[in-house]
């Protein structure tokens, strides 16, 4: 058997898998996004009506809301995860680091839906946060925390901080300790060492985690649906509404492709500026 044939043989399973479960469904979805509903009947063809729906204020707003929430969550999660990962990597004794990472992963062990409803109870007007605020005399009346963007962001950050901690921790652990020592020998302060040595070298880990956060967050339906109280809709929520009763698959497909386009854009920006492809 030639090398070429052996190469094809090795790559064939992955190729078939990708074709069957990504390329074909993607092609169907793309074709569906150009179809339209006539009453309840699906009309195949090339119609741009579904994409024109993006101009509708409530759909355009959903795109903006999705981006705002996703970017907020990504930034906050990075800011929280980096120190946590650094503490685990540099301050926690090596024999306890595995346990620390295990504890960091604990939120992943709970069902996503259960976790979101738990946050709803925690943030409710009679929940533990409001009880604490009232008990400490910080507020006189319970404040509205549940069913807000704050609740959605809190639920997301709880989850994604842990994810980012893992990717950043991996980057920090790969850093040879001599780099920091060399910088110190050359008279660099701790801050200067961090900004000019450690941070640039751990950027791939940050960006990997941030990109994963972006992808998972912008496509998530459950958290904003449960915690946001439908007070503003994200793009996945608008897509679900199309599918729920009317079965408007053409419009849902078009919106799903727009969502995919946003993810692709995020990937392009990340890979171009921060060389995510080399991580």
Nearer to another protein, 64 or 264 (CB): 64
Q: Are 145 and 130 in contact (CB under 8 A)?
A: yes
For another protein, which residue of 47, 125, 149, 173 counts as binding (CB under 8 A)? Answer: 125
Nearer to another protein, 76 or 241 (CB): 241
Can you list the pairs that 95-98 forms with residues at least 24 positions away whose Cβ atoms lie under 8 Å? Answer: none
For another protein, which residue of 184, 212, 241, 260 counts as binding (CB under 8 A)? Answer: 241
For another protein, which residue of 33, 183, 248, 259 counts as binding (CB under 8 A)? Answer: 248
For another protein, which residue of 32, 73, 120, 162 counts as binding (CB under 8 A)? Answer: 120
Q: What is the per-residue binding string for another protein in 33-52, x denoting contact by CB under 8 A?
A: ----x-xx------------
Q: Is 225 in the site for another protein (CB under 8 A)?
A: yes
Residue 227 C-beta: closest distance to another protein, Å: 9
Residue 249 C-beta: closest distance to another protein, Å: 7
> Which range touches another protein (CB under 8 A), out of 26-34, 139-147, 185-193, 212-220?
139-147
Q: Is 63 in the site for another protein (CB under 8 A)?
A: no
Measured CA to CA, the distance from residue 148 to residue 123 in angstroms comes to 10
Dig out the tokens for 90 from the structure: 């540099």
Q: Is 220 in the site for another protein (CB under 8 A)?
A: no
| Interface with another protein (CB under 8 A) | 37, 39-40, 56-59, 61-62, 117, 120-121, 124-127, 144, 146-147, 225-226, 229-233, 238, 241, 243-249
């Amino acid at each position: 058997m030639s090398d070429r044939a052996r190469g094809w043989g090795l790559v064939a399973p992955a190729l078939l898998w990708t074709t069957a479960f990504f390329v074909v469904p993607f092609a169907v979805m793309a074709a569906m996004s150009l179809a339209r509903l006539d009453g309840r009947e699906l009309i195949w063809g090339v119609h741009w009506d579904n994409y024109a729906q993006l101009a509708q204020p409530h759909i355009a707003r959903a795109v903006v809301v999705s981006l705002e929430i996703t970017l907020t969550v990504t930034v906050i999660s990075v800011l929280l995860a980096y120190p946590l990962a650094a503490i685990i990597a540099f301050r926690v004794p090596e024999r306890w680091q595995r346990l620390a990472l295990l504890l960091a992963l604990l939120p992943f062990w709970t069902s996503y839906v259960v976790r979101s409803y738990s946050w709803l109870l925690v943030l409710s007007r009679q929940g533990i946060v409001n009880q604490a605020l009232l008990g400490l005399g910080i507020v006189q009346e319970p404040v509205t925390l549940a069913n807000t963007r704050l609740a959605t962001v809190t639920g997301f950050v709880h989850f994604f901080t842990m994810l980012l901690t893992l990717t950043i921790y991996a980057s920090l652990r790969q850093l040879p300790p001599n780099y920091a020592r060399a910088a110190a020998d050359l008279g660099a302060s701790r801050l200067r060492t961090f900004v000019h040595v450690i941070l640039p070298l751990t950027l791939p880990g940050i960006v990997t985690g941030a990109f994963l956060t972006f992808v998972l967050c912008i496509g998530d339906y459950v958290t904003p649906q449960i915690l946001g109280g439908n007070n503003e809709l994200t793009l996945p929520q608008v897509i679900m509404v199309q599918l729920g009763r009317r079965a408007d698959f053409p419009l849902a497909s078009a919106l799903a492709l727009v969502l995919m386009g946003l993810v692709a854009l995020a990937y392009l920006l990340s890979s171009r500026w921060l060389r995510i492809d080399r991580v």
